Structure 1
């Protein structure tokens, strides 16, 4: 492993990222802002005391969140100069790391000979980046957006140790997920996915507006209207929405996984809407899955869900 295993200090932290995180998650003690600023000075302008006197950032400011992510990746995962284009999805590192840790539990955390496929890696490439650095896995990231992949490729180029472990592939057909990505005779131990949540741009904008309003209310501020061109939580095009939303996307994934059932041991995906879990489990069993698991990840007051299914018997 190439990561820095120092944990965050509880001193001068806020929004405790660590509440309920996986035991191996390096962020389970919250954010150590003084240490992060020391290692990444670009974060300094965004750090200031919150109403409780703790150091924090404005989590509704996409530039501040991006600077925090870059600092976390630099200090704790030895990933230098991580960046994303304006408007791209800016993932919270502790929660994304949790997904990878729970996937490691699924395939065996001691097993370094794991090959992971990330469906919709986006411009951030976060899951393969973490999997490479924490567990030393081989990773393939796929996406339908060439510009997103170009950005991830630039991050890989700036981090030489990733060049032999993290590879990118373009999905040329929006009607397929695995076809055109998984090659004949190829084997993956696990696939991961953070699917588009929403059915339209308008739905995504309303969701982001609610998050911004909630953050403003928590700070005692007035509501602030945001524009589609400036989604504070990032995400564009296929990153946030698709026709039919999350459920239709994941139903397509489950059906197509049957075709590649002998080339991937575990298929997994985040599921943001609890109501989607039951119909997806039903479909997984219908297409012949031998084992279906629901993994709960507790992150603060939020519970995230991962569905995992395999066509291999125990």
Structure 2
């Protein structure tokens, strides 16, 4: 006699499916410790400082306050609010179609350059008007000088080949009473970067540069289209902004792209080797580094560094180089000592 089979367990009803919720992406890298833009933006505080920002604030797919980064007007107003709230810049605007850079990333570059100066100065960041910085290709936005002066009280000279960008930067400087701290100068030859730009008696502790990274207008257009599509992918029907490069063409592309521009900058830096302590430039693509390092070797630089930076989902870097011997660097740094 066989034992009776145990009854089959009753089927359990499947648990009701919960609606899928968007999960905010984890940040791959963090900002520099001295960067003022740590964590999420405090939109109520920004709106209190700049009420015009309110109409551009949205709730993103993760349920957080944000702005529509695919809207040039929203980005411009957002930058204006950041500069006012964090750096005390009461008046800031740029012409349509000119580069509107993300402020936190630009601040990171400035802070890492401060670390570069401190590394040879017993860990102390030199501050004040004794430190002179050349911003190559400053653009209409004037962001690097505004941050550098606000955080470290450094003095700046900004150069550009575009007359409209020069005029816009001058308007920002004058309207904020920064004429003594920030000067601008037009590079009269658009095919040159440093050649013919500086006076023989001028000395700079740093140069910085955000070079054009596309090799042609067509490449720049494709790159910008990809960016807009990515930013607007939640709404495939959205109308993309008209891509009118106008005056910003020189900011986005040059013949030969980033490698050509940076290697030319390295080559021209030889001509003013004794007028600058540390040259530097951003490099958007790590794959461009070998060609740039070859150019540095050919130019006979005595020391160079690649400094990695991370801002949220983006990884970036800059290259710095000097023609000064350790003894010359020490003499140079003596200018930073406070005068009694």
Q: Output the TM-score relative to the length of structure 1.
A: 0.90
Q: How far off its partner does 1:107 sit?
A: 1.2
Check whether the contact 1:209–1:226 (CA below 8 A) recurs between aligned residues: no
Q: 1:263 aligns with which of 268, 272, 275?
A: 275
Q: How far off its partner does 1:19 sit?
A: 5.0
Q: Distance in 2 between matches of 1:41 and 1:283?
A: 49
**Corresponding position: 1:178 with 2:194:** yes
In structure 1, stretches of 5+ residues that fail to align are: 1-13
Check whether the contact 1:213–1:224 (CA below 8 A) recurs between aligned residues: no
Matches within 5 A, 1:1-314: 19-108=29-118, 110-112=125-127, 113-160=130-177, 162-217=178-233, 219-222=234-237, 224-229=239-244, 236-314=248-326
Check whether the contact 1:15–1:30 (CA below 8 A) recurs between aligned residues: no
Q: Distance in 1 between matches of 2:28 and 2:42?
A: 12
Instruction: Tell me the alpha carbon deviations over residues 226-248 of structure 1, each in whole angstroms, 9 at most, x when there is no partner.
Output: 5331x6xx972211111111111
Question: Which residue in 2 is equivalent to 1:3?
Answer: none
SS at match of 1:267: strand
Q: Report the number of matched residues.
A: 296
Query: Which range moved further: 47-56 or 249-258?
Result: 47-56
Check whether the contact 1:140–1:168 (CA below 8 A) recurs between aligned residues: yes
Instruction: Tell me the alpha carbon deviations over residues 138-158 of structure 1, each in whole angstroms, 9 at most, x when there is no partner.
Output: 000000011101001111111
Q: Distance in 1 between matches of 2:247 and 2:146?
A: 18
Q: Distance in 2 between matches of 1:180 and 1:259?
A: 10
Q: How far off its partner does 1:51 sit?
A: 2.0
In structure 2, stretches of 5+ residues that fail to align are: 1-23, 119-123, 327-340
SS at match of 2:273: coil
Q: How far off its partner does 1:201 sit?
A: 1.2
C-alpha RMSD over aligned residues: 1.9
Q: How far off its partner does 1:129 sit?
A: 1.1
Higher-Rg member (1/2): 2
Distance 1:16 1:89, change over 3 A: farther
Q: Distance in 2 between matches of 1:18 and 1:88?
A: 29
Stretches (4+) displaced over 2 A:
14-19, 219-228
Instruction: Tell me the alpha carbon deviations over residues 20-61 of structure 1, each in whole angstroms, 9 at most, x when there is no partner.
Output: 100000001221111000100011110121222211100010
